[in-house]
Amino acid sequence: MDKHIGFIGLGAMGLPMASRLLDAGYTLTVFDLRREALDALRARGARAAASPAEVASAVETVLLSLPTPGIVREVVLGANGVGSGSKVKTVIDLSTTGAVMAREIAAGLAAKKIVGVDAPVSGGVSGAVKGTLAVMVACPKALFADLEPLLKHFGKPFFIGERPGMGQTMKLANNFLSATAMAATTEAIVFGVKSGLDPKLMIEVINAGSGRNTASQDKFPRSILPRTFDFGFATGLMCKDLNLCYEEARAAGVPTTVVSAVRELWLKVLEQMGPETDFTTIVNVVERAAGVEVKG
């Protein structure tokens, strides 16, 4: 594979992933609406493009890390988008868009003789920095073999299947479980604190017992008990992922009893805390309702 790669979207996840490619010796042509993000990589030798189309006219492979399905559609299929580039052959979308959008993007690119690869990631900002993300890839199997060395710089690539959208379905299932762990652990810890238990001791016991989960092992010790609320994932993005999971599960004819309940709580967090807050602020909403505060 050509060592000259395009990267569009240099946010909390995209910037460290792009940086890892520079560390690995790749040449990057990058695009982002924020000048400070472009400047950070340009200082390391990356080339800044003026548009997604310009990126896609400079390289054969373009990676995307963007916040919402609508933005992905516009960047790929809109005017001056990646799909109008003159050189691009493969577009790898690392964003979380849902399976419906992934299929739309793949069809739009296929009409231009470009292969769309559905490859959402999980593992948070720390995983992007450390290169320990799970990369859930849906594309032709032969292409996966070609892309795996590139994607390994981000973490562990998994071949999910060949149909566009299969990676997205895997990601939504994963994020539903992550959101559920956060919601359930928050209610459990607030319940204990209201009943007189020490939250730090509760987390230690839970992690030594059968209740341990990603929230008790990571989010609570790192960002909730210290009251820093800085884990690095926005409330608005969590709600976006849960909405996609809920809608696509319903469309598939799958019961949504649990995802409906979890989604209801997260929508309260969105309403009370705002979309830009860290998703660990879910504890603030439950604390207010219970009249207690969780402190480490």
pLDDT on residue 138: 98
Q: Are 4-163 and 169-290 in the same CATH fold?
A: no
Q: Where are the domains of the chain?
A: 4-163, 169-290
pLDDT on residue 295: 87
How crowded is the C-beta side of 174, counted as CA atoms within 13 Å? 17
pLDDT on residue 276: 96
Rounded Cα distance between 270 and 285, Å, is 10
Pick the CATH number of 169-290 from 1.10.1040.10, 3.30.360.10, 3.50.40.10, 3.30.43.10: 1.10.1040.10
pLDDT on residue 296: 75
The closest alpha carbon to 69, from 171, 141, 148, 150, belongs to: 171
Residues in the chain with pLDDT values less than 70: none
Q: Which of 3, 171, 240, 295 is catalytic?
A: 171
Annotated catalytic, 171? Answer: yes
Contacts of range 150-157, beta carbons closer than 8 Å, 24 or more positions apart: 150/1, 150/5, 150/21, 150/61, 151/92, 151/119, 153/17, 153/20, 153/21, 153/24, 154/17, 154/20, 154/94, 154/121, 154/128, 155/121, 155/123, 155/127, 155/131, 156/132, 157/119
pLDDT on residue 1: 74
Whether domain 4-163 has CATH 3.90.1820.10? no
